[in-house]
Chains A and B, each alone.
Chain A
Amino acid sequence: MAKKIGRTDIIGERGIAYIRQVVLSMGFMFYETGGVEAGIDGFIELRDETTGAVSNLLLQVQGKATERTRLQAETDTTFEFPVTEADIQYWMHGTAPVLLLVVKLDEGKAYWKSIKEWFSDIEHLKSRKVVFDKRSDFFSVDAKAAIVAVATSAKPGSTGPSVRLHESLLVNLLEIGFAPKIYWAPTHHHTDKSFGAALRELDSKASSEWIVRSNAVLSFNDLDKWPWNKICDVSAMEVFDTSEWSGSDDVDRVRDFVALLNRAIGDFVRPDLRRDRDSGILYFVKPRNRGKLNYAYRSLRNLTTRRVVKGYGRQRDHPGKPAYFRHSGFRPHFVRYDQKWYVEVSPTYHFSRDGWEPDFKAGEHLKKIKELENNAAVMGQFVMWQAFLTTHRTGDLLGEAYPHLRFAPLESFELDVGVPDQLWTAQESNPTSPLFDFDKMQEGTE
């Protein structure tokens, strides 16, 4: 009579083989219990993939392989797995974390659950079943960070191997290009204010890429042209390469150059944005006849729109009118890194009473919204400003390109470490609480 090995044994072996393959792909070790066992098929030992160091951080594994095409209460997103009272007793009693792994052989997929965590909920314990979420409980190499978290959570303070996560980051810098020449000419005006007044008298629309320093005007504009030639001494005019300022090591020269760039960006953003005199913030102007403004732009992936001016609250005396307006804005800061110039864009908001006059409660409003905005929200605003600055006044049928300043986005940066957001938020005591980029950390002990 022929010797036989049962079909269920083969199914079990196939399940273990599958588990072993996934565990090894994570860079971890898998040790099979083998022989006689009461409900634990093997152990996972965490191992640092980069150094090869093993940690003695262990996870117990119970595999359940099946050829069934449909599991209990299976939907597109979930299924149930019933377990016996004895199984639960056995698993919960041990010292190491236990993973229950259900392997669906026909699909070649496996799902995992940290048993002690699951049954720490009294309702789960009563029902004696484990409900798997097909998406978040999918057992593949991507579950590595979560598995490390389970292993290290068994003993607070233990450290697992670092999990490599590939991540792309943006930096809030846009490289700038500027006019190649700077014009210099003596003037009898002593201040920006008096020169500006004289200039506007000649031409109310004259642009403002100039500064007055010790009885001379420094400008991106050709001073030999009207209206500048009327108020400065053109016979003594000199033309320089901009690099004499942009590449200078002299602190005063660099300061003057930054002042010129600030004047230029103020002109560049017109007519859509305006500068707040006190804060230096550039913000979207409220349309004259509407209470809101949307801005459409290309974000990282697709076309999108953002509400950039909107009224909030209502006035006590005129309930139909908003109490204040919120304008999206940013603070530009010109910096030089490694001989290249960039504008550093810090997204923020401007608040006005009627779209024009500043709101005296601006500080309070700003604090409130910054508390609600996390890293992703601020990044979204930066992406909008990047789109604005790189597409605004670049020249089209309606107008010429702005000649004195242009902006180029930086490539994103790649990093092979990162943050598993989902895993971390799942462990926050209050997952809805905002996480700020804006540091509010107070002093510690001193």
Chain B
Amino acid sequence: MRLSHLAEPALEFGSGLRHPDIRFGIMDYGPFDVHIDGASRRIKLGIVGSADTVEGTARWIEACSDGFEAKSSRQANLFPRFPGLRNDETFRCEFTTSSELQRILPTKEIGRLVAIPGQREVTREVVSTIVNEIAVLAERTALPDVVLIALPVEIIERTVNAREATGENDDEVDAEAPVEAEPGSELDFRGMLKAACMRLRIPIQLMWPTTFDPSYRIPRKLKENSDRRMQDPATIAWNLITAIYYKAGGLPWRLARDARELRTSFVGLSFYRSVEGEHMHTSTAQMFDERGEGLILRGGRMVESEEDRSPHLTAEDAYALLRDSLKVFRGQHGHYPARVVLHKTSRFDRNELDGFHKAIDERDIDYADFVWIQKSMTRLYRLGVYPPLRGSLLRFSKDQALLYTRGSVDFFRTYPGMYVRGR
């Protein structure tokens, strides 16, 4: 066993200038694609919600344009101000909305939805209602770049909060278990909504009314969640606007890379229960290239492995998935990558390895990494108040290691885990 520390990686922003923090990087240098031709300098936002939440969300976008003061604190690096969106500040990009891009669900309709009995039924109906509204926006000549789903409190209570009401504890989820959603649960609601919107080819962003008005009270069914603290307005704006910028096709930042490094394609695999057939499992692969772009590919059918009862791909599906993914890479870059990194949350089984190797060998790719990521209860303890630094790496062997992806951060001079919360 050997303990070491991986330094915080540098991120690249406008003109390729570097900073370790996303917010200060964007503030000082602009987003990564600011000087790249073809990058949108105007993002049109659609809004779907109740009369109340649509109005509030539009008001919030307006407020973001003016910016928010930093939270009053001595931790200037953890809580920077949000400088606003006007005058080429921050994203050097306009964020606009207009009544043509907004859809209001009548009070009566919301009443009808939340009165539907049954978790599964209400989730299904809410998703289909919202999707119908987005479909209307998708017909417009001036398409929105991103649609904000401004959830009314009544709907949050019946859908997003539903899982918490079942008393499930996130911490206790078995790390070996595949990521699966309970029917009607929070994950299910988001997953179903996202999957439905993927077909419409319009990215969405969920918004809570507490974003534009902290005085909103969202009733909690479980007592233990009643102390949820809201983030300060500047932090909320940073998180949401950065996400929206990315979803609209912008590149806020990318990982700084050395020109000498190999051209690498990163492929992530995940498994989920599909919306239509509750019993069919499918997998998706997300491929990131060094431009930082993510391209969703739909994978093959999942099978349960005899080896460890986790979801796995068949050899043919694994082969087809990576073959297609490499084709997409070639389409973007004009050549195949020199190195492929595959990662997922369950062990790679024999069939998958066979399939992936076939695709890799076919393209004469010399370097392939198979990374299997799992939550662990192995902990490092230091003699002090703060947990170990993010990036602490305990190597057990050539191919097994423990990495602290959350921990104390030098730039923030604290452990940010306890501050970053809320929506």
> Are these two chains actual partners, yes or no?
yes
Q: Give B236's nearest chain A residue, CB to CB.
A: A445
Chain A residues near B397 (CB, 8 Å)? Answer: 337-339
Set B7, B308, B385, B422: member contacting A421, Cβ < 8 A: B385
In the docked arrangement, what's the CA distance between A116 and B73, Å? 17
**A370 CB → nearest B CB, Å:** 10
Q: Give B169's nearest chain A residue, CB to CB.
A: A363
In the docked arrangement, what's the CA distance between A374 and B417, Å? 13
Q: Assess whether B80 is interfacial by the CB under 8 Å rule.
A: yes
Chain A residues near B190 (CB, 8 Å)? Answer: 446
**B317 CB → nearest A CB, Å:** 22
In the docked arrangement, what's the CA distance between A331 and B19, Å? 41
Q: Assess whether B394 is interfacial by the CB under 8 Å rule.
A: yes
Chain B residues near A251 (CB, 8 Å)? Answer: 307-308
Q: Is the CB of A374 within 8 A of B379?
A: no
Q: Is the CB of B378 within 8 A of A375?
A: no
Chain B residues near A374 (CB, 8 Å)? Answer: 385-386
Q: Is the CB of A335 within 8 A of B378?
A: yes
Q: Assess whether A433 is interfacial by the CB under 8 Å rule.
A: yes
Q: Assess whether A167 is interfacial by the CB under 8 Å rule.
A: yes
Chain A residues near B240 (CB, 8 Å)? Answer: 445
Chain A residues near B410 (CB, 8 Å)? Answer: 162
Q: Assess whether A306 is interfacial by the CB under 8 Å rule.
A: no
Mask of A422-440 contacts with B, CB within 8 angstroms, 1/0: 0111011100011111111
Q: Assess whether A149 is interfacial by the CB under 8 Å rule.
A: yes
Chain B residues near A376 (CB, 8 Å)? Answer: 383-385
Q: Is the CB of B379 within 8 A of A445?
A: no
Chain A residues near B308 (CB, 8 Å)? Answer: 251
**A41 CB → nearest B CB, Å:** 28
Mask of A399-437 contacts with B, CB within 8 angstroms, 1/0: 000000000001001111111010111011100011111
Q: Give A154's nearest chain B residue, CB to CB.
A: B76
In chain A, positions 365-390 with a C-beta closer than 8 Å to chain B are 367, 374-376, 378-379, 382
Chain B residues near A438 (CB, 8 Å)? Answer: 171
Q: Assess whether A156 is interfacial by the CB under 8 Å rule.
A: yes
**A357 CB → nearest B CB, Å:** 22
In chain B, positions 1-49 with a C-beta closer than 8 Å to chain A are 1-5, 7, 19-21, 23-24, 27-28
Enumerate 26 A-B pairs (CB-CB under 8 Å) in ascending A order: A157-B28, A167-B382, A169-B382, A169-B392, A170-B381, A171-B380, A172-B379, A172-B380, A333-B377, A337-B400, A338-B396, A344-B377, A346-B377, A375-B384, A375-B387, A376-B385, A378-B381, A382-B379, A413-B3, A413-B394, A418-B382, A421-B386, A428-B74, A438-B171, A445-B423, A446-B243
**B residues apposed to A, CB below 8 Å:** 1-5, 7, 19-21, 23-24, 27-28, 70, 73-77, 80, 171, 190, 205-206, 224, 228, 239-240, 242-243, 307-308, 377-389, 392, 394, 396-397, 400, 406, 408, 410-411, 413-415, 417-418, 420-423
Given A168-B382, A337-B397, A375-B381, 9 other A-B contacts at CB below 8 A? A153-B76, A157-B23, A167-B382, A169-B381, A344-B377, A376-B384, A437-B387, A440-B421, A441-B417
**A residues apposed to B, CB below 8 Å:** 149, 152-153, 156-157, 159, 162, 167-173, 251, 300, 331, 333, 335, 337-339, 344, 346, 364, 367, 374-376, 378-379, 382, 410, 413-419, 421, 423-425, 427-429, 433-446
